[in-house]
Structure 1
């Protein structure tokens, strides 16, 4: 628990400050889009855009904030950093695995809801892998005391895949086909 507080404690004031701004941004964006879209559609797409931004900010914070005294390293052997973490502490290893799985899961869930083109698991996997690779390369180049590892890429991609599976399941449950707009598909003809 102490590790969680040290990792995420700085995010609490940021979230408290940013959340009201995001709510106002959601409303303003929806109002602006109402000229081009129906009201429900404008609020739906604006809400998803704001949620994507909301989940992107902590990702950027967590992967680009320097670790004081951290060592820059690159590990290209799958499983090696996870195995090494288990030699230090099983709790730390589990936190590392879960953290990397969860990192891109919200984006894997939200992006297919927002964009019909991303309702393909192959596209989500490819997109998540590319984003994760870019993050690892930037961490290595910036020298911020983090280990750039293929384990992170694999776990981030699996997390995004799980998020996309959940999104596609939700869309299927409400009867939305892959190329349909969720708002239009769920509204009746009389609306």
Structure 2
């Protein structure tokens, strides 16, 4: 864990220092939304700020250059198998870290956008984001391993986090309007 703090302590401190600013940004966004009810304005603002602020630090970490040659591992589950033959702490940090990369996006995206409300959609969203990040790692020659296992873990993390927010997922406009909207559209 000491190595994790050495490598990423600055990022973690920057995130903690930025929390008051995130609260102000969320409140400002909610106040700007005069076209929707106050509760809905807050919900949208929290979801947008949460998705961005909860994802960017992880992306920052994994796009930080290392002094190593770049590598590509396109074989599924090979990196994971290798990980579990090494020190348990390394395996836990790598697996949990990869699950968390797009977890905030997976948690908040369906709260904000009904079109993303679905485990398969969230998995796909996480996979697309992860493929983009892995491609950047390789293209920018950051000394990192671009691995299909990272894509699988990142996408799984987005989907699992989405399950945690299922109660708050956005609903299509007709469902949000309530029963009155349904009865007025019936013809009989």
Give the TM bin, normalised by the shorter chain.
0.7 to 0.9
- 1:140 pairs, out of 118, 138, 141, with 138
- Length-normalised TM-score, structure 2: 0.85
Name which of structure 1's ranges 145-154 and 89-98 shifts more when overlaid on structure 2: 89-98
1:150-173 CA distance string (max 9 Å, x none): 0000111111111122222x24xx
1:105 to 103, 106, 114: 103
Question: Which whole-Å deviations, capped at 9, do the CAs of 1:41-97 have from their partners, x for residues lacking one?
Answer: 112211111111211221221111112x22210000111112222333232122211
Gap regions ≥5 residues in structure 2: 179-188
8 A contact 2:112–2:170 mirrored in 1: no
2:21 equivalent to 1:15:
no
User: How many pairs were matched up?
Assistant: 178
SS at match of 1:87: coil
SS in 2 for 1:107: helix
Conserved? CA contact 2:138–2:146, under 8 Å: yes
Q: Aligned residue for 1:90?
A: 88
CA 1:181/1:9 → structure 2, altered by over 3 Å: closer, same or farther?
A: farther
Give the Å deviation of 1:177. Answer: 7.6
The RMSD of aligned alpha carbons is 2.2
- Equivalence map 1:53-68=2 (5 Å): 53-67=52-66
Moved over 6 A (4+): 181-185
Correspondence list, 1:1-191, <5 A: 1-33=1-33, 35-67=34-66, 69-168=67-166, 170-171=167-168, 178-179=171-172
- Provide the C-alpha distance between the structure 1 equivalents of 2:102 and 2:92, rounded to a whole number of angstroms: 17
Which sections of structure 1, spanning at least 5 residues, go unmatched? Answer: 186-191
Deviation at 1:13, TM superposition (A): 3.0
- TM-score, length-normalised on structure 1? 0.84
